[in-house]
Homo-oligomer: A and B are copies of this chain.
Amino acid sequence: MNESGALRGHQALGGGAEFSLIRRLVDRWGPLAADIGDDAAVLPPPPPGTVRVISTDACVEGVHFRPGWLTPEELGARAVTAALSDLAAMGARPEFLLLAFTLPASGEPEVLAVADGVAVPVAEAGARIVGGNITRGAQWALVTTVLGAARRPVPRGGARPGDLLVVTGVLGGPGEALRALLADEAPKPWPRQRFAGPVARWREGVLLAEGGASAMIDVSDGLAADAAHLASASGVALVLDPARLPVGPGIATQAALASGEEYELLAAIPPDSLPALHAAWRGNPLLAPFTVIGRVEAGTGVRVDHGVVPVGFDHLRGGQTPP
């Protein structure tokens, strides 16, 4: 490890302090932060049969969260998870990260805890930190750039009439937590956990992509809004069955449709891909379940319609209800 390098502080952090801080971060990350030390990191070629995808995402105090809402560990983990979720939505397996930290003057005591939080989803994904930046600023901010490998990258624009719509996980937690936090109430444990400790669904995204998904997006703006993005990109209409939505305890359907920062995946899949997807899910305890919640039709926009997915559909198609 070098004292400066692709993970840099410039003079903005002031003399030796920046390098000391970078050293402490890189030491803390251990083998998760490999090959830090040059002006830029050299990337190996993507694994055979894959293409490399890239995305960048910002998590800013006062905008994405307020002081006191998240522990420093949660801040770090959540920022990385939000970025990894963009890879998940492409069907890509995480490979590399670059992290640009902005620290308030009071932030130095917390930065190692933020780094510990960062390490959790990075280690869990088997990814590596290959670069970054450290600077002072008025507020905490973490800009995370993520690179991943996809055998079959899935765009937003590939949904076709006749496709089924599936969503991973259980919706509504982050929205309910945010409602409580903004009302100065303590969020209940499940919503708080979903808000403060979301999980990037890259395992699910890879399986959906390789299982034939025609379009995919992560639920960051809320299911209804992200469904509208997918519908618009694909030039189709999406019809959601409210009775089918996987909604958390005590969450109203409307609230689940509006709940943002879920980091679950919404995918369109050809109906005949369903049995193989169910088979891939079976017996894999690491995977969040997925649920068929609607279908793709000709037209535009998003409609919510009871009965759009017939009862017993999964059975008729030979699939199983998700675990």
Contacts and interface: CB of A to CB of B under 8 A. Distances in A.
Copies of this chain, complex-wide, total 2
Contacts of A220: 8, 10-11
Given A86-B40, A136-B63, A2 B141 contact: no
A122 interface: no
Interface in A210-249: 216-218, 220-222, 229, 232-233
B53 A12 contact: no
A146 to B, nearest CB: 8
Given A37-B233, A87-B40, A156-B5, A141 B132 contact: no
A100 interface: yes
Given A137-B139, A156-B5, A229-B4, A41 B55 contact: yes
Contacts of A252: none
A11 B216 CA distance: 19
Given A39-B156, A56-B99, 13 more contacts: A2-B157, A38-B233, A39-B89, A39-B218, A41-B53, A45-B45, A54-B98, A57-B133, A58-B133, A137-B139, A137-B141, A138-B139, A141-B141
